[in-house]
Amino acid sequence: MTDVGLTPAGGGAITTVMVVCLGLFGPVAPLLARRIGLDRTLLVALLILAAGVVIRSLDGAPVLYTGAAIAGTAIAIMNVIMPGVVKQHFPEKAGLLTAIYVSALVGGAAAASALAIPMEHLTGYGWRGVSALVAVPAVAAAVLWLPQAFGRQSAPANGPRPFRALMRSPVTWKLTAFMGIQSLTFYVMLAWLPTIFQEAGLPADHAGFLLAISNLAQVAATLAVPVHAERSRTQVPHVTGAALLTVAGYLGVLLAPTTVPWLWMIVLGLGQGASLALALLIITLRAPTPPR
């Protein structure tokens, strides 16, 4: 913010731009998948992500926001198609593969946050260079995915269902509400929990440590919950349990932030990690075919 000359509102807008793109450009994913297939859509999104990350690290506020928007668009596409990719290639192990990729999702976010400053000190590149380095894993993933993307593609089988048919399904609205509330609670935690702890009297490094504990708890939940939930006849008890854990964690933070704060963060992390994994698992299980 200091280097680019952004106000606090301008700094917060970087994250806002990415989240808005997640909502606006998610519908692009099924259109791409219908044209070029799920595997090639994933490859395209990885390359767009790498480009956005590099652009974001260039000089000036306009390219910072532009790069964030491009990266957010790529993430939106991948978020939408990953359940379809899992269902297409691993229909009998949807729970296990959902657990693995959602854990990688959460763990990657935690690692990027934790390693940014140490990498800046280690490389001497400054924040721009370290930000650009995040493109390396995206390019590596694209290279690894090339044989799959340009191998034999399965037919898209009539493509996605008509939009109006999806809107008439009660499951669509229930899942939309669940996923939306889960995202709301996650971004509130990401943006405000360290501030809440600091205003309660905890030092900044302690507040950051508590946020890291929550991220680790999320990884544990995303690894375990989908595997167990897939074997169940219904996922309602799992969703209910995840929601109750999230509410309990937030109540602990708001009512007694300095009383066993590590416990509140573990509870909150377990609830939020389970919620994200369950939302993506339910999409995979309820879709009749990978494109749908």
Q: Taking 70 as the threshold, does the pLDDT of residue 203 lie above it?
A: yes
Distance CA 290, CA 96 (A): 17
Q: Taking 60 as the threshold, does the pLDDT of residue 114 lie above it?
A: yes
**pLDDT at position 235, please?**
87
In whole numbers, what is the pLDDT of the chain averaged over residues?
A: 85
Distance CA 283, CA 197 (A): 35
Distance CA 265, CA 48 (A): 34
**pLDDT at position 163, please?**
63
Q: Taking 90 as the threshold, does the pLDDT of residue 28 lie above it?
A: no
List % helix, strand, coil for the chain (3-state, nearest 5): 80, 0, 20
Q: What angle do CA 148, 151, 157 make, to 5 degrees?
A: 95
Distance CA 204, CA 74 (A): 32
**pLDDT at position 11, please?**
79
**pLDDT at position 271, please?**
94
Start-to-end CA span in the chain (Å): 42
Distance CA 40, CA 48 (A): 12
Please report, rounded to a whole number, the percentage of residues in the chain having pLDDT higher than 90: 27
Q: What CA–CA distances, in Å, run from 236 to 54, 66, 140, 270?
A: 42, 40, 38, 17
Q: How confident is the model at residue 86 (pLDDT cuts 50, 70, 90)?
A: confident
Q: Is 38 helix (H, G, I), strand (E, B) or coil?
A: helix
Q: Is 125 helix (H, G, I), strand (E, B) or coil?
A: coil
Distance CA 274, CA 292 (A): 24
Tokens of 176: 């939309």
Contact 192, 249 (CB under 8 A): no
Q: How confident is the model at residue 226 (pLDDT cuts 50, 70, 90)?
A: confident
Q: Is 37 left (phi over 0), alpha (psi -120 to 50) or beta?
A: left
pLDDT mean over 175-190: 83
Per the listing, tokens 């192990």 go with 93
pLDDT mean over 96-121: 81
Contact 197, 261 (CB under 8 A): yes
Length of the chain: 292
Q: Taking 80 as the threshold, does the pLDDT of residue 71 lie above it?
A: yes
138-165 pLDDT, tens per residue? 999 999 999 999 887 655 545 555 667 7
**pLDDT at position 45, please?**
95
**pLDDT at position 169, please?**
78
**pLDDT at position 162, please?**
61
